[in-house]
Amino acid sequence: MAVIKATSEDKKLMARLMRAEAEGEGKQGMLIAGNVMVNRVRFHCSDFEDVRTVDDMVFQSPGGFEAVQESYFYQRARDQEVRLAERLIRGERFNPAERSLWFFRPGEECPPDWFGQPLSGGFKAHCFYNPTPEECPEMF
């Protein structure tokens, strides 16, 4: 059962974003980054109170993903990434991003917090950050 609503076009859009943001970190890296994407649609808190759809999440401005400004984001979705997106839409979650709403690539060690959000962990070059329980109680 899906944890967010997603059409076949939404799945392709999310697959393109996962690849653009984390392809260099392999399948696991794309799944972990994709958890953040699903969380932004699923949980209506913090910077994402008005995000209701995959399209809203992908193109949110300000606060969205930088990859949508790059040409490689606009490449055709590949079947393997669409299958990864479908797994996430069905509710699979991966550490350290089970409850993350943010990630970034600092180029060094992960800071213990990012704009007041606690570090949940890192995977390869990306750092993942959770909201606090007070900020997003529905997630906890």
pLDDT digits (tens, 9 = 90+) for 11-65: 999 999 999 999 999 999 999 999 999 999 999 999 999 999 999 999 999 888 9
C-alpha angle 65/44/90, rounded to 5°?
A: 75
Report how far Cα 56 is from the mean position of its chain's Cα atoms: 13
pTM of the predicted protein model: 0.97
Candidates 1.10.10, 1.10.3470, 2.30.30, 1.20.120; CATH matching 8-99: 1.10.10
pLDDT at 1 over 90: no
Return the domain boundaries, the chain. Answer: 8-99
Helix (H) and strand (E) counts in the chain: 4, 4
pLDDT digits (tens, 9 = 90+) for 43-53: 999 999 999 99
